[in-house]
Amino acid sequence: MLRIESLSRSFGGVAALEALDLAIADGEVVGLIGPNGSGKTTLFNVITGVHPPDAGRILLRDEDITRSTPTRIVHHGIARTFQNLRIYKRMSVRENVWVAQHSLPGVGPLELLSNRSMAERARREEIDRLLDAVGLADRRDLLAGGLPLPDQRRLELARALVRSPALLLLDEPAGGMTPAETAEMAVLIRDFALPGRTCIVIEHKLDLISALCQRLCVLNFGRKIADGAPDEVLQQAEVLEAYLGRDATHA
């Protein structure tokens, strides 16, 4: 599904990604972990066209998408959520999901503004189905900015899913949540968002990662330091050192 070859990106002389190689199979769910500043979100930003790479290639189903624009990335079937929420706080919950369709292929502004076409009625039915699935059906007419954080994160997930992506990139989908809220989000992602999709999940909460991912990739200072089954990766000395420090691992 996705192949990353020797991908590098620097900011002001600081290497955020350094010759990164990563291959992800169709239908695989991979956890991307590492300390703060290790390059995880930068990788998502480069994949989705927010930042161009300095070197390397990104291939989706063997098609080179390295320098595609964010709009073209959506057309290729990639959607993402953000660590720092990107919702329209002064729009209703339903409007937030509705407007997320504007970048879909074949959906123009005039068609979106008309509720008369069969295609638009079908899309609006899909929005209602999504809101019901993520537990926001009874809040559809509320302003998004007034929702509690867990509901805002559910809304952002619905905004990504309304584009029917083949590859879903989740950036800390349970950030700021309590353990109980995190467990609920893990169930929602596992049972509703993941079936039939390839997914990369950035998350510091290893209980959520363990519930969702068959494989872990660990970054540190922009380099991949481990890649494999979660139980094996989390026991590697370099991974423990990256999280706990050299003194702790030799105590």
- Provide CATH code, domain 1-77+166-251: 3.40.50.300
State residue 248's pLDDT score.
44
Which amino acid is located at 147 in the chain?
L
Confirm if 241 and 218 have CB atoms less than 8 A apart: no
In the chain, what are the domain boundaries?
A: 1-77+166-251, 89-164
How far apart are the C-alpha atoms of 98 and 108, rounded to whole Å? 13
How far apart are the C-alpha atoms of 34 and 226, rounded to whole Å? 10
pLDDT tens per residue, range 88-117 = 999 999 999 988 877 666 666 566 566 666
Tell me how far CA of residue 219 lies from CA of 32, 48, 114, 226, 239, in angstroms: 7, 18, 46, 7, 9
State residue 251's pLDDT score.
44
Cα torsion angle, 142, 146, 148, 152, sign: positive
Query: How confident is the chain (251 residues) per 10-residue block, as mean pLDDT?
Result: 97 94 97 93 96 96 94 92 91 91 65 63 85 95 96 96 94 94 95 95 91 94 94 89 61 44
Confirm if 144 and 152 have CB atoms less than 8 A apart: yes
**Could you identify the residue written with the tokens 């109980």?**
180
